[in-house]
Amino acid sequence: MESADAMVVWTPNRAPFLENATRGRVAVTGIPEDPETKGFTHSVGVCDRGWREKSEAERQKALHRLADQMIKRDNILSGDLEEAFDQIEGWPGIGNAPFDKPSRGESGT
C-alpha cells in the first residue's frame, strides 16, 4: 500500500486501554477502513487532513516519529509494529529512517 493511502490504527498497551480487546495491537488499513480495524482507538495517516498532500519523505518521517512513539509511549512491540508497517511501500524499517542518514558530503559525525 502506498504511504499516501495508508492509515495506521492501534490501541496502546497501557492505562486506560488495558480492558480494550485491541490493546497492544497495530494494523495498517486504508479508507474505506477494513471492518476488522474498527475497534482500534487511535489512527494516523490518510484519515488526517493534509496527509496526501505531504511529500513521500514527509510521510515517511511522520511514520518514523509515530513508530517511535508507539513503541516508547504506547508499549507496542517492535516486531508487531514492523509486521504492520511492512505493508507500507517504502517503509525501510524502524532503525533505517532515511532522514537520519547523512547526505552526500556530510560526514555524519
- For the chain, the domains span 3-100
How many CB atoms neighbour CB 103 within 10 A? 7
What CA–CA distance (Å, rounded) separates 93 from 82? 7
pLDDT at residue 109 tops 50: no
pLDDT at residue 105 tops 70: no
Span 53-72, average pLDDT: 96
Span 49-78, average pLDDT: 96
Span 77-104, average pLDDT: 79
pLDDT at residue 107 tops 70: no
- 3-state DSSP call for residue 32? coil
Enter the C-alpha cell of residue 48. 488526517
Which residues have a Cβ under 8 Å from the Cβ of 34 and sit 6 or more positions away?
A: 27
Whole-model pTM: value is 0.85
